[in-house]
Structure 1
């Protein structure tokens, strides 16, 4: 069983919208939390932010409602993050659904793509929800949801969805450096594999970029505990989740 309960960041996010039934119903559909695995995880107690279902709603709220869309400094637009993280068939990926998996391992989540005669899916694991754990953060969970959606993006576009082994995180990706101006809003899914003008994202990179945008481009009403936690966790990922050295850190001036 997961270690249920809500921390200060979680309750601060929920306080921004309260017990909003329309939001819960929308997240249930848009993020396809429709699998029976959510039955014991709070789907019938959606206002309880100490349970996994309510925590996913918190993270979806951050993705969909809490960025300023500051064109001069934000890595990618709200719409880009929204569309990629949602489960519907769109320009980023084919349709998938999300399951809740109770287990005692350390993996936050995984995605199953290219399933034969079955719909692709993402599995969200207990470490994303365990009270007091490193990963139990609304902002971190939002970035993991985006990360997993990028595995579905990779599958749609014919790229390997496997991580690289042998790094500090145990598994990692390459970081493909780009400036803020490299991607116009609405072009998050654009890529170019020509080494002379390479444009690409790895799953851990999109994860870190969303955490950076939550940390530095959140709307004024977003509590400091949310932005500071996103900065700390994002910088940890930048330190340990890439096979190549990343010189940039959240809080540094953003490269144009």
Structure 2
């Protein structure tokens, strides 16, 4: 694949993948091995996190369409092999995160995909793209579950930094583009329609009330985690890739 024509995005935004698209592969060994290798690569490449997570869901029933999608990721990597994360010595010691969810985005079981990007100053240090366990009955529910997962990650990172002797001066901010989920984080009243989210609700609310985190609303166009929840068009994907912090190497 090193001489293949580069792809501009890791996944096609107009042709959704499902469990039954394509013809089952007679021998899925190569598919599984390649996706397994890409899982390691996604630890340093947030731009392929969603695509790798999506294709990992078809390990048990790999088809020709899924294999074509895997090769598209490899073609994308051919064209972006010089891109990477740059960590500058000049950085502000503060934590903040972006969280997002694609409500009922999976066309097989209608589960949502939740994602987050955690930043230490201007540097991304943790990210995740993962299908949620359980069907969300509203976009607010899907977004709130993602906020809860992000809260757990930010809390753990904050604790780790404290053990390393690094203290943050302000409460980490979590940016969410869903107003319902944002208001719910700070609302002291527990609504009966959200009782099935009781654990996540109290977990996030307690951290907000204790001043450990703060959840703020941002416009959808500023939501960097959007690139980790769904396939995007080329212009939007390239814009978010730059905003996330992926760029060509700078001179040493």
Which bin holds the TM-score, normalised by the shorter protein?
Answer: under 0.3
Q: TM (normalized to structure 1)?
A: 0.27
Larger CA Rg, structure 1 vs 2: 2
